[in-house]
Amino acid sequence: MTSQNVVDLHAKARQDYEAFKARGLKLDLTRGKPAPAQLDLSNELLTLPGEGLYKSADGTDLRNYGGLTGIPEMAEIFAEGLQVPAAQLLPLGNASLAVMHDTLVYALFNGVAGGEGRWIDQDITFLCPVPGYDRHFALTERYGIKMVTVPMTDEGPDMDVVEELVAGDASIKGIWCVPKYSNPTGASYGDETVRRLAAMPTAAADFRIFWDNAYAVHHLTDEHDEILDVLAAAAEAGNPDRVFVFGSTSKVTFAGSGVAFFGSSAANVKWFTGFLGKGTIGPDKINQLRHVQFLKDSKGLAEHMRKHAEIVKPKFDAVERILSERLGGTGLATWTQPKGGYFVSLDVPEGTAQRVVELAKEAGVALTPAGATHPYGDDPADRTIRIAPTFPVLSELEVAIEGLATCVLVAGYEKQL
């Protein structure tokens, strides 16, 4: 039996929806891209390194081949943010995703340092905290690796679940982690989570944590989430080679024309470099020089990130304000309030996420497909929607979130009818 109240609420939401749709808008909330105003912050890069400037601090001519492990000045700038000693942090090409891909392929074809043979010869499994980053899952799926989900909490993956799984199943070789301002919930891992990940007994002796610290320096306010140093924690726990750290300047300077990083223990860096050198004689060191000139040091980096926050924070505020106004108290949605990163995760009533995305599409608002936050694109509860607020200008974002809220109401009340 449906109460008259729900019938009325649904009718009103439907009316709002039709009015929104009639505006014939075309808005895009799909991918976490920096807005043009953010890219403008780094325009100085377009004229760097500048006439006659092509040498690194130690006098190396960066125009030439060589320098496989990147220029040390670039590592210095990010060592603090990524929590990797500069000597073990390699500035590489333009995409951390490519570095993750290659690291996985090296492990598949060769096994990891001190490992137990090639991963490709074994049935292997990765743990995937959900909701998580779709490209991690797509990469893992592409290489035939089985994925097992673990629920995310506000403090990172549910460690009781993780510990039990890795202790009992030797096929589990890895876990994907976005430890700070995670994609898409914005949660940062608690110290206890990091300690347990670093120290937990694993049935596979060659277990690795893929620590994708993509949002290490991407704070929205002056109140920064800080996470425990996972490399140090792993070393202390007697697992010095457990962690591969990844990061990039994709959302610091130019997405697609930045610098990516690989960081790990000395043994793992040696392992990684051995394969890296078979595929390239060296990275784009001129781009690295440009970045060094532009960002200067970790202080320069922090100042630059504050400018990003000035642009991005009002957008996150708008998402919070509109979702609260339109959906607060309805019992139809919960959402995250990140202090950094690029996403907000919106949970709608079970079984309605796809419907919300479909309604939004029909009304001209493109959202990341429902399910994208889960391996195989399958969110069994059909509940989670990722919101990427950074790219549209504020006025367009506000309209898009209004439209999204209306779609949540339509789908939510529709389910109750």
Closest to ligand PMP by CB, 131 vs 403, is: 131
Q: Which residues bind ligand PMP (CB under 6 A)?
A: 32, 95-97, 133, 178, 183, 212, 214, 248, 250, 255, 260
Distances (CA, A) of 211 to 180, 244, 364, 369, 416: 10, 6, 36, 25, 41
Closest to ligand PMP by CB, 97 vs 319, is: 97
The distance of closest approach from Cβ of residue 280 to ligand PMP in the complex, given in angstroms and rounded to an integer, is: 17
Closest to ligand PMP by CB, 119 vs 211, is: 211
Other beta carbons less than 10 A from residue 384's beta carbon: 21
Q: Reduced to 3 states, what is the DSSP secondary structure of residue 208? A: strand
Closest to ligand PMP by CB, 145 vs 255, is: 255
Phi/psi region, residue 114 (left: phi>0; alpha: psi -120 to 50; beta: rest), is left
Examine residue 49 and say whether the peptide bond preceding it is cis (omega within 30 degrees of 0): yes
The distance of closest approach from Cβ of residue 112 to ligand PMP in the complex, given in angstroms and rounded to an integer, is: 21
d(CA 300, CA 297) in angstroms, rounded, equals 5
Q: Do the beta carbons of residue 217 and residue 248 sit within 8 Å?
A: no
* Phi, psi values for residue 89, rounded to 5°: -120, 120
Closest to ligand PMP by CB, 139 vs 322, is: 139
What DSSP letter does each residue of 320-388 carry, written as one string? HHHHHHHHTTTTS-EE---SBSS-EEEE-STT-HHHHHHHHHHTTEEEPPTTTTSGGG--TT--EEEE-
Q: Do the beta carbons of residue 184 and residue 343 sit within 8 Å?
A: yes
* Phi, psi values for residue 302, rounded to 5°: -65, -40
The distance of closest approach from Cβ of residue 329 to ligand PMP in the complex, given in angstroms and rounded to an integer, is: 31
Other beta carbons less than 10 A from residue 33's beta carbon: 18
The distance of closest approach from Cβ of residue 78 to ligand PMP in the complex, given in angstroms and rounded to an integer, is: 12
Closest to ligand PMP by CB, 10 vs 219, is: 219
Closest to ligand PMP by CB, 251 vs 326, is: 251
Q: Do the beta carbons of residue 312 and residue 327 sit within 8 Å?
A: no
d(CA 278, CA 157) in angstroms, rounded, equals 35
The distance of closest approach from Cβ of residue 139 to ligand PMP in the complex, given in angstroms and rounded to an integer, is: 10
Closest to ligand PMP by CB, 94 vs 202, is: 94
DSSP run (H or E) holding 260 = strand 260-263
The distance of closest approach from Cβ of residue 134 to ligand PMP in the complex, given in angstroms and rounded to an integer, is: 9
The distance of closest approach from Cβ of residue 392 to ligand PMP in the complex, given in angstroms and rounded to an integer, is: 16
